[in-house]
Amino acid sequence: MTSTVTADLWWIRRDMRLADNPALLAALESGAAAPVFPWGDPLGRWSGRRIAHLARVLFSLREDAGGAVAVRRGSPADVLVAAARETGATAVHAQREYSPAGIREQEAVEAALAVSGVELRFVGSPYAVAPDRIRNGSGDPYKVFTPYWKAWTSHGWRAPAGDPDLDRLVALESDVSLDQYAAHGDSSDPLTSPVEFRESRWLAHLTDFVESGLADYPEDRDLLGVDGVSHLSAPLAFGQLHPRTILAALPQGEDASAAFARQLAWRDFHADVLFHHPDAQRWSLTPTHKDEAWLDDRDADESFLAWRTGRTGFPLVDAGMRELAETGTMHNRARMVVASFLVKDLLIPWQRGADYFRRALIDYDHAQNQLNWQWVAGTGRDAAPYFRIFNPTTQAKKFDPDRAYVQRWVAEVDTPAYPEPIVDHAHARERYLASALPKGERA
């Protein structure tokens, strides 16, 4: 269907939902809104699994929107300029992004639209408290999490926004076939039954988690063999749920609610750090080692392969890496252990691990990934000290005491087929510490 009425555009970014969506509501204020998702080049760097996930999320969104979600190939600037011309839009409404790539993208769109006299209007962000909203008493961005968390809690966030009038959505033609991208691995018939990708499924999942998982969250969130976490990171990464919606669903005044909100505050904190230090996406904020201290290329390649394929001989590391390869996700405790192992036991820079996670994770989020890697490596602003090194064997005893997680992902763990450890942890630990920069030389 081609537009016959004048309509502003809703530029769909990481806000793939209809409920509680200020950008969509702002677009509808013009009378009618045409939702558009530009299917651009950066997707070429995504894994097939993540692209398939995106295709299914968009398919579900389009179904929920009565067909009115256009997916068009091209850069956001080209796609939005053309769509604005088609609908006679005077403005494009979008959620603001704060990552270096997101900022570059929105600047390009703003400039291209301005040539046609169309305004780009920002409404909302993917965060409960957007980057740069809170600063410390001296007016500087927070460097450490705990004071940030206190300021975040007292700053607060908006109440969820209302529901849109879907009858006023305008359907533009799509030129990207989502079916083509939706097939990946075992789920070759996804578009006929996209229930698990729907926004409503995640809203229901949130209610279930609050009713039956939240109370035990503080105790269970670190246990690998127990389903003690919310699994909300993928819908958050795609914007199927806004953190504000989640925070509004948490019962007030309960310790478990605070423990859960604290994790959402980490998400906002990392976005804030990356916004103020865009170089942190690539460079250590506080380097721990000289460049030449890292393992040289050939040894690093061999160790990296063992790590990536889950064949290090350390069952918890291998379980985590196999979970990631098979499912596109990994438990947070395992993420910390495998990341520490790569950097501290294998002496491989965190950036290499972060790049692999970028390709493998469905819930990939640039700020969360890069800054969590820096946290584990001990190179971040709010760093776990670099000399605190996870022992993968004691971590397994503590967080997977009955070995349910390891046995689930490493079936051959107790057989001769399982590899010997590729490093001696005690020796690797000493090697890592001995090659660290002296305290005074750490930036």
Shortest Å, Cβ 86 to ligand FAD = 35
Rounded alpha-carbon distances, angstroms, from residue 116 to 81, 83, 88, 119, 136: 8, 12, 11, 9, 41
Cβ neighbours for 206, distance < 8 A, ≥ 6 positions apart: 230, 232, 241, 245, 246, 249
Q: Which residue has the tokens 């698990």?
A: 196
Cβ neighbours for 178, distance < 8 A, ≥ 6 positions apart: 55, 56, 58, 59, 62, 71, 191
Q: Which of 232, 324, 343, 406 binds ligand FAD (CB under 6 A)?
A: 232
Shortest Å, Cβ 350 to ligand FAD = 8
Q: Which of 361, 396, 406, 423 binds ligand FAD (CB under 6 A)?
A: 361
Question: Looking at 56-64, 126-134, 356-364, 397-405, which segment touches ligand FAD (CB under 6 A)?
Answer: 356-364
Q: Which of 10, 127, 142, 364 binds ligand FAD (CB under 6 A)?
A: 364
Closest Cα to residue 63, out of 216, 186, 162, 197? 197
Shortest Å, Cβ 234 to ligand FAD = 8
Q: Please give the backbone phi and psi of residue 363, each rounded to the nearest 5 degrees, phi first.
A: -85, 20
Strands 91-94 and 70-73: unpaired
Q: Which is nearer to ligand FAD, 221 or 403 (CB)?
A: 221
Shortest Å, Cβ 13 to ligand FAD = 16
Q: Which of 27, 237, 342, 343 binds ligand FAD (CB under 6 A)?
A: 237
Shortest Å, Cβ 401 to ligand FAD = 19
Site residues for ligand FAD, 258-297, by CB under 6 A, read 263-264, 266-267, 270
Site residues for ligand FAD, 375-404, by CB under 6 A, read 376
Output the CA torsion 322→327→329→334 (10° steps): -30
Shortest Å, Cβ 2 to ligand FAD = 38
Q: Which of 26, 89, 236, 247 binds ligand FAD (CB under 6 A)?
A: 236
> Which two structure tokens, joined as six digits, stand for 151?
């300021």
CA gap 281, 100 in Å, rounded = 8
CA gap 412, 401 in Å, rounded = 18
Q: Which is nearer to ligand FAD, 73 or 277 (CB)?
A: 277
Shortest Å, Cβ 249 to ligand FAD = 12
How many residues lie near ligand FAD (CB under 6 A)?
27
Tell me the angle at which helices 145-155 and 255-276 cross, rounded to the nearest 10 degrees. Answer: 110
Q: What mask of x and - would describe binding to ligand FAD in positions 292 to 331, judged by CB under 6 A?
A: ----------------------------------------
Shortest Å, Cβ 394 to ligand FAD = 18
Q: Which of 365, 378, 410, 423 binds ligand FAD (CB under 6 A)?
A: 365
Task: Please give the single-letter amino acid code of residue 168.
Answer: R
Question: Looking at 129-137, 173-181, 233-241, 414-422, which segment touches ligand FAD (CB under 6 A)?
Answer: 233-241
> Which two structure tokens, joined as six digits, stand for 244?
């504000």
Q: Which of 21, 245, 281, 368 binds ligand FAD (CB under 6 A)?
A: 368
Q: Which is nearer to ligand FAD, 83 or 265 (CB)?
A: 265
Q: Which of 142, 341, 357, 409 binds ligand FAD (CB under 6 A)?
A: 357
Site residues for ligand FAD, 334-353, by CB under 6 A, read 335-336, 339
Rounded alpha-carbon distances, angstroms, from residue 404 to 227, 338, 392: 11, 18, 16
Question: Looking at 65-73, 304-312, 358-366, 402-410, which segment touches ligand FAD (CB under 6 A)?
Answer: 358-366
Based on the shown chain and the rule CB under 6 A, indicate whether residue 231 belongs to the binding site for ligand FAD.
yes
Site residues for ligand FAD, 37-76, by CB under 6 A, read none
> Which positions touch ligand FAD (CB under 6 A)?
221, 229-233, 236-237, 263-264, 266-267, 270, 332, 335-336, 339, 357, 361, 363-365, 368-369, 372-373, 376
